[in-house]
Structure 1
Amino acid sequence: MTAPISQLIRFAMVGAVNTGTYYVCYLAFLTQLPYLAAHVLAFCLSMVGSFFLNAYFTYRIRPTWRKFLLFPLTNAANFVITTCGVYALVDLAHFSHTWAPLVAAAVAVPITFVVSRTIMLRPDNRQASESLGESVAQTTPTA
């Protein structure tokens, strides 16, 4: 199996876990917040987990601060598509606010994979490639 195909399969698996995480958070937040606020908060929280799962499992790379800070760009298209999709489905099409995020997420997957693969597999320069764990160890003073 070629690398892009196996990455796409692992990306889909991470996406399923991420979607489940997002959806559980969304439903929990929906009990206290309007649906769009619940969507935004659940999306942001699940994105952090998605970064680490994609780094370690999908692309088998070491997470770096640079990639962590760029990773939200991989989700920008996803965020716009899902947010507009949720709004259009709920407010315009009168679709259930419970199921709308899942439908909108399915539409965004192919775009998110292409952008994610581009950012996550982009080579870091030496200075910016410091891993998340190493930067904490290096900034801690020794006695």
Structure 2
Amino acid sequence: MNHAVVREIVRFLASGLINTGVTYAIYLALLSKAGYAIAYTVAYLIGIALSYLLSTRFVFRVNHSARRAVIFPVVYLIQYLFGLTVLHASVTWLGIPEAFAALVSTVLSIPLTFVLSRLVLVNGHAQRKTAP
């Protein structure tokens, strides 16, 4: 693995921590007012917008484009379906408390999200920003 990809992975993990912290706080805030699936969905949608901004500017350092902005949510649709399945299995079959099950879902989806995000934002696109 080359150094550029390793740096992207490190930046991806850092941005993911920020995004996870924000969306988990939103999830917990909503959990008292709605069921876990609705709380997860709302927090997840907010996280998509934050992730796009962090991924284009900080992680992969690519220019924003309408095409990327339209395609990027597909990454998160796939991750959402995966995450909701893991969330449901964690709560229903494994008995993990709802407040922690979202974290299990997030951790298990990290590799999938990195690969899909990189495919959408970097592969096949020559509009990379110059690194600071």
Whether these two folds match at TM > 0.5 is yes
The alignment of Structure 1 onto Structure 2 pairs a total of residues equal to 126
- TM-score normalised to structure 2 length: 0.89
Quote the Cα distance in structure 2 between the aligned partners of 1:7 and 1:100.
Answer: 27
Q: Map of 1:16-55 to 2, 5 A cutoff?
A: 16-55=17-56
- TM-score normalised to structure 1 length: 0.82
| Unmatched runs of 5 consecutive residues or more in structure 1 | 130-143
Quote the Cα distance in structure 2 between the aligned partners of 1:35 and 1:119.
Answer: 29
Shift of residue 17, structure 1, vs aligned partner: 0.7
User: Aligned to 1:63, what secondary structure does the other structure show?
Assistant: coil
Segment drifting more, 19-28 vs 74-83: 74-83
Amino acid at match of 2:75: T
Deviating 4+ runs (over 4 angstroms): none
Q: Deviations over 1:24-65 (max 9, x none)?
A: 110111121111000011000111011001100001111111
Shift of residue 124, structure 1, vs aligned partner: 5.5
Q: In percent, how many aligned pairs have the same letter? A: 26
Aligned twin of 1:57: 58
Quote the Cα distance in structure 2 between the aligned partners of 1:70 and 1:122.
Answer: 13
Calculate the aligned-residue CA RMSD, in Å. Answer: 1.7
| Unmatched runs of 5 consecutive residues or more in structure 2 | 128-132
The structure having more radius of gyration, on CA atoms, is 1
Quote the Cα distance in structure 1 between the aligned partners of 2:35 and 2:73.
Answer: 23
User: Aligned to 2:99, what secondary structure does the other structure show?
Assistant: coil
